[in-house]
Structure 1
Amino acid sequence: YDYLNGESTIEPNLNDLAPIGKWERGIGNGCPFNLGTYFDRGNWVYSDDIQKNDPPVLFYNLFACGPGRLTDENYLAGAYIFNTTYGLITIASSKSGSMLYFNDFTEPLGEGSTIGEAFQTWFNKQAPFELWEQEWYYGMYLFGDPTLRVLKLDNYSPNKPEITGPINGAPEEEYTFQINDVKDPEGDAIYCYWDWGDGNNSGWKGPYTSDDDIIEHHTFYTKDTYIIKAKLKDVNGAESDWGTLNFSLSKNKLLSNFNFLKKLLYYLRITY
């Protein structure tokens, strides 16, 4: 199939003379021919070559046909991450094909998306798929952990949060706590995690932008002193130190109401 239109006019053509021998098809009867026969700068690459050389690389985007074919023994896409010290992620095709239009992948990756999210963004941006795109892109796989993301080497964590709010109260009352004017040195999006000290937490909530005020509400039920903690994390994963606030429940709700009634009756008696 003429994927790019006009391929037949591009030289060299099949059976044209080459410096050594003649030009042949890259795939013949299902088996790739040995490029090393024609180019002394290359040769076959086997999975044990990858293991032996153990390249210090974390991520591979293989621009080749078939290295992600899971049915092949010691398939190359797996060899790069399962047979090496450093390999974490490989993107590869299970047949003829590869990634094209790389900016659709690298831009979201550089903006903080996980590798899996960036891969999905790239794939969706190729749609709607023409026939040649279906034949070229379908069968692309991501091998490894898709939740990994690239961290900027010069990324700094958000500033330590300062929690404001009441420092004592009564059980079963809802109280409001706040972090004012959150800051990230690079202006990255920010997430916030609250630990209420009573076994409950908020999980990561957000995103917030720099200079936002973060407001949360919580109810405590047992007389005690609680250490409320909060930390911030930017979109690249850099976390701040914990900010803390001590909060005490000095009375239970029933006793507090009883004391209030006693005082009320006392003043009513004096007035009467």
Structure 2
Amino acid sequence: MRKTIISLLIAMLMIGTISTTFANADYEEYEENSMNKTQLRSSTNIDEIDQHNGAFCGYGDCDEEMLAQSFKPTRNTLSKILIPLWKTGEPGTLKISIKSDLDGNDLTDITVNAGQIGSGYKWYTFDFKDIYFDVGQTYYIVWDPSDVDFENNYYWGFGDDNPYPNGYAWDYDVDEWHIHNGEGTMNDIDFCFSQYGYNTEMIPDLYCTGSLSWSSITPGSSVIGSFEVSNIGHSQSELNWRIESYPDWGTWTFSPSSGNHLSPSDGTVSVNVFVEIPDDTYEHFSGEVKIINIDDPSDSSTIPISLSTQKTRMFNTVSFRFFEKISNIFSFFRQLTFNLDICKPLQLQSDYCEIIYPNGGEELCDLCEVEWQIYSYYPPLPLLSRVIIGCESSDYIPATTGEGYKYSFNTRSIHDGSYKAKVILYLDSDEDGNPDCVIDEDESDSFFNIVNGPRIPEKPIGPVEGRPEVAYSYSTSTTHHANKMIKYKFSWGDGTDSGWLGPYLSGVTIAVNHSWETIGTYSIKVKAMDSAIKESQWSEALYMVITENPPLPPTIQGPSTGVPDIEYSYNISTFDPEGDSVYYLIDWYHDISSDWIGPYNSGETVCVSHIFPEKGSYSIKVKAKDEYGMESNWSDPFVISMPKNRENNQKEQVVLENFQHMQLLKFYRKT
């Protein structure tokens, strides 16, 4: 392996303008005019500088193998990377990729060739197809050249003395990655780069696997199966899902039939399926189970179903009716008919019972009176019915055809949430109050809500971006079905909560302050509780991004030569990644510095003036800080030359004026 660190002449440096953009082949390219210009990437997502190191020291590094620079993003989506580079000779290709593990696979990459790279120092834009990041985790910009040697290579500009504190420079040597410590007087180097990104909504993605297939099943028996539900969306997203539909043949039970707050890190949820299959012999049944994302029903998945029965059935409807008549006279035959499973012919019929109320969309509290109807059928037999809400159920209730029934639940024994009522109709052959078999069932058409305590609070309202150790205010409100006093508890996503606050009147909006210690993305949600210790479910989450990026090193523009004792003006400006107001500190020369001046808007040009007292060479520099005290690196030195003092300059001016006057006199004499 051959390694070289090379210096460029300062006169060659044209820093600040970006004229070349590389994009993924399947991604639309757009023009980039300035490192400090924010680009609108879509109607909702604006990308801006997230991580940056522009402290170029005049040197670049090349390697016949790979280099890398680690960084920690504070936005959850990467849009592009800017890198200062140049070439010597005619090297092969250069691949720039993003990795979450130096020895892992590329998350995205772009490859360029020598014809696309110039021999002078310049920043190039690698406009990747946008990818998700885990905020606060370490990622790597990997530099991978091919067909290079000492005379034909690519160079990556860097700075020394640890200019980027959130990562390290790396090099690949002897089949291993090592932290790059520089060479000679260059210590603690970091490669120069700008990483752009933006925050996107944490969107879940429902994914289901498995199938339900049974063959040669005895008619009227039961079967068991299962499938898997998972969230393959953003790593910090939460999925709320439920079973939306399933075949109308057979009796289906799912455990669980729904779920909330499923994140990708939770893995898969196994859904167990229990089916009481029809009594039809030698039949094939098919269909599908449909599972949906409750918050986005267009995000759905289906599980295919296939079931076939044997060519065997012990009884048919005609036989049932014959034995039923006989059983009215002879109890022996009555018992025999049920031993021969006469429930099965009854199950071939339908619409024995129906839920009347609640049938979906209602909000219920305290006592919930479930109403259902049992329809007429032939032959009339003794029946039992039972109604279920959640984990609560009634006793077995003797039932008669053509009658309506009601049963009241105390919903305070049921957790607040969304439910369907279910009624089950049984045959009670010997009228002993014990069911023989299920002959029909029905449930509410859609979900209704049980709310005995406070309703779910509104999604917290407040800032979505901020700084460490700065307090921010968040508000919410909710109501109580009985207008009782309400307490609130906020979960801040950092392992802490507000504790129970209040009580407050129903419907009153409250505000609470909180600060976070470290950078990252935090989930803020709130729940409510009444005086009876009845708690609501958690609200929808608001996501807060805590970042800590200083302004970029400022730029200086103005005259580079002059004479002493004359006031000269200079323009300074910088860009703050978060758009914070900025202050400036100017080192004019020989440790003669101004006080901090400001505040000014990010990107605003500020005009400052200074008088240099004597001839000589002056090197001025500027640094910036944001309104939270985060300081930038010093700007590159701006060298000013004062070759003559003011007295000599005045004498030369007098001599010049006298010479011009003498020339005019000679001209008039000739004429």
TMscore range, shorter length: 0.3 to 0.5
Which structure: larger Rg? 2
Q: TM-score, normalised by structure 1?
A: 0.43
Give the strand-richer structure, 1 or 2: 2
Q: TM-score, normalised by structure 2?
A: 0.18
